[in-house]
Structure 1
Amino acid sequence: MEDNRPEPPDFAGERETLEGFLDFLRTSVVHKATGLSDADGARRLLPTDTSVAGLIRHLADVERSWFREDIDGQTYVPFRWSEEDPDGEFRVTEADSLSGIIADYEAACAESREVASRYSLEAPCTVDNGHNVRWVMVHMIEETGRHCGHIDILRELLDGVTGE
């Protein structure tokens, strides 16, 4: 599998470093899922609804929640979770394709980049949650990195593929 992930910069300012690491992790999520069938992407290997496809859908929702809703103050941002179904994004059906889930995730990441480009790192979130854009960027590095590790483990269990 060809590795086209962008390397984070070795020497850059704070914003370029944060964006570089987040984009590396975002593309790592896609890289690690590439080549799986829809069935393997949706396969649950744990007692929970956790799957590669479900984790990617979760990350798409998290991108939209933090960037569009919290930073930008957009209303009616689409999520798959709700108070009635807090894990809704993890449920994948036969009607879902892994390629469609990946495309939605990539679209969510592009939306996030566009929102972030309009704000300084010091700018407070529009939603009064006590956070600023810097905090959201660091949190998304942590969140994406953690779930990328989960995807890496699931991929190895599914078909033995490993990698950085």
Structure 2
Amino acid sequence: MNAIRTHRITNGPERDILENMLDHNRQALIDTAQGLSEPNARRRLVPSLTTPITLLKHAAAAERIWFQRFWADLTPADCDGYSDRDEQTFTVGPEESLPDVIAEFERAGRRSREIAARFTLDDTKHNPREGTVSMRWTLLAMIEEFARHAGHGDILREQIDQDPT
């Protein structure tokens, strides 16, 4: 069982519900790629850079961008991986395996949880692109991001499973 898998919380403190929903969406994204062969994890079925493995790589970068860079004020060198907002977030090296990228995403998620725990939901910071954002908004934005990408992953997985060539 993966560290981020949790039982669904449907009632209780707002923060518990938000963090639980985020963890569920993290796991849902992992589940879309789990068990694929390396060629299928990298298989491009759409014109964009979107593949099962690149979705996970991008999600790990999103964790670092929002929690390590923005909330913890870390420099790119202090982050545990790529953390710039550009298309390179989808770049997976040939030496990186699907289990490596899943582990990277899980590490980034653990670090995000540690950083988020330092703040209340109402704590705010200014973001040049978004304006003033709260930790609540950040958690909701990450829930939205990972739910959207898990949907992308579901569609890719369905295509791959229908024609695993």
Separation in 2, partners of 1:96, 1:68: 22
Equivalent residue number for residue 49 of structure 1: 49
3-state SS of paired residue (1:125): strand
Whether 1:79 aligns to 2:82 is yes
Whether 1:32 aligns to 2:35 is no
Structure 2 letter corresponding to 1:49: L
Structure 2: any 5+ residue segments left out of the alignment? none
Instruction: Work out whether residues 42 and 93 of structure 1, in 8 Å CA contact, stay in contact via their aligned partners in 2.
Output: no
Pairs aligned (count):
155
Structure 1: any 5+ residue segments left out of the alignment? none
What percent of counterpart residues are identical? 35
Post-superposition offset of 1:6: 2.2
Normalising by structure 2, report the TM-score: 0.86
RMSD, aligned CA = 2.0
Separation in 2, partners of 1:148, 1:135: 20
Post-superposition offset of 1:126: 6.9
Equivalent residue number for residue 109 of structure 1: 109
Separation in 2, partners of 1:56, 1:125: 27
Separation in 1, partners of 2:11, 2:36: 35
Where is the strand percentage greater, Structure 1 or Structure 2? 2
Instruction: Work out whether residues 70 and 126 of structure 1, in 8 Å CA contact, stay in contact via their aligned partners in 2.
Output: no
Separation in 2, partners of 1:111, 1:120: 16
